């Protein structure tokens, strides 16, 4: 499974996941993706065949429902609850551990058209 980290997520998360052998890119620093509106970003993730990881739960859960209603496909959305996954330099390890575990346990499973939740993982 390949991931695209939403713009507000620290690019260090992607870097550390790549060091662990995962295929992860981020919106940060990508001039083609930065600043895109949420529907456009979800379409871009689909074109890249990447699951979008975001903590923008309200907007992307609603967008998922809109895509379903319009019979429009996306490559998957992995939601992270902001209370469990706060954004800061101090919480990068939490993000990396949880995403690494999710990717290892999911393997090549597809999230096409699905919206699911990332859960906290205990430290390795």
Q: List all residues 6 or more positions away from 40 whose beta carbon is below 8 Å from its beta carbon.
A: none
What pLDDT is attached to residue 31? 87
- The CA-atom distances, in angstroms, between 15 and each of 98, 110, 111, 118, 123 are 15, 22, 22, 19, 18
For residue 82, give the CATH number of its domain. Answer: 3.40.50
pLDDT surpasses 60 at 122: no
Work out the average pLDDT over 9-17: 96
Produce one character per residue of 38-56: b if its CB has 16 or more CB atoms within 10 Å, e if not.
beebbbbbbeeebbbbbbb
The number of distinct structural domains making up the chain is 1
- Judged by DSSP in three states, 77 sits in strand
- Say if 81 falls within a structural domain: yes
Does residue 123 lie in a domain region? no
Q: Tens digits of per-residue pLDDT, 17-65?
A: 999 999 999 999 888 999 999 999 999 999 999 999 999 999 999 999 9
CA distance 41 to 53: 11
Rounded-to-integer distance, Cα 52 and Cα 27, Å: 10
Query: For residue 122, is it within any domain?
Result: no
Q: What Rg, from alpha-carbon coordinates, does the chain have? A: 13
Residue 48 lies in a domain: yes
- Model confidence pLDDT, tens digit, residues 70-107: 999 999 999 999 999 988 899 999 999 999 999 999 87
Domain encompassing residue 75: 3-117
pLDDT at position 121:
64
Please tell me the predicted confidence (pLDDT) of residue 123: 46
Q: Which residues pair with 60 in a beta bridge?
A: none
Say if 44 falls within a structural domain: yes
Whole-angstrom Cα distance, residue 72 to residue 101? 29
Query: For residue 107, what pLDDT is reported?
Result: 79
Q: Is the pLDDT of residue 1 over 70?
A: yes
């Amino acid at each position: 499974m390949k991931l695209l980290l939403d713009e507000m997520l620290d690019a260090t998360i992607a870097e550390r996941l790549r060091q662990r052998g995962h295929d992860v890119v981020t919106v940060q620093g990508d001039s083609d993706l930065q600043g895109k509106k949420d529907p456009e970003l979800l379409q871009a993730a689909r074109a890249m065949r990447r699951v979008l990881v975001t903590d923008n739960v309200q907007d992307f859960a609603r967008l998922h429902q809109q895509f379903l209603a319009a019979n429009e496909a996306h490559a998957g959305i992995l939601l992270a609850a902001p209370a469990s996954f706060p954004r800061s330099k101090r919480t990068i390890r939490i993000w990396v551990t949880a995403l690494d575990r999710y990717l290892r346990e999911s393997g090549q499973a597809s999230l096409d058209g699905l919206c699911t939740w990332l859960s906290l993982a205990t430290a390795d």
